[in-house]
Amino acid sequence: MGPRRCTRTGCSQAAVATLTYDYGDSVVILGPLATYAEPHSYDLCAEHATRLSAPQGWQVVRLASATAEPPEPSVDDLVALAEAVREVGTRPVTQEPAEPPRPSLRLVRPDHP
């Protein structure tokens, strides 16, 4: 069994995105290719995912792009990560009690102080 194919009629391209309809909210959701094929969702190739349109009055929600490469981390991202790791590494290690102390209750009868 090879890669999943686009479910559009006549298309034999590899699927890269999954389309799902939310009929209750009139929303079309397009996201990355689902882990496995669902009976009520549709797998689309990059071209059909890009050209997707919704019925009139419906909203299209595009989740993380399945067709675009994720951006490379910037120098600022890497410096911030290094500083966060350094900060955690300099914190003193404290041991927490195994169990938090339980509140104690004392019964008091109205005739005894």
Digit-coded pLDDT (tens) for 39-86:
889 999 999 999 988 889 999 999 875 444 555 667 777 777 778 777
- Contacts with 59 (C-beta within 8 Å, 6 or more apart), sequence order: 25, 26, 27, 28
* Of 55, 48, 52, 45, the residue nearest 22 (C-alpha): 55
- Mean pLDDT value of segment 83-98: 72
What's the pLDDT score for residue 58? Answer: 93
- Contacts with 55 (C-beta within 8 Å, 6 or more apart), sequence order: 26
SS3 state of residue 40: coil
Nearest-angstrom CA–CA distance, 38 and 31: 13
Tokens 């102080």 locate to 113
Summarize pLDDT for 4-17 with one digit per residue, the tens.
Answer: 899 999 999 999 99
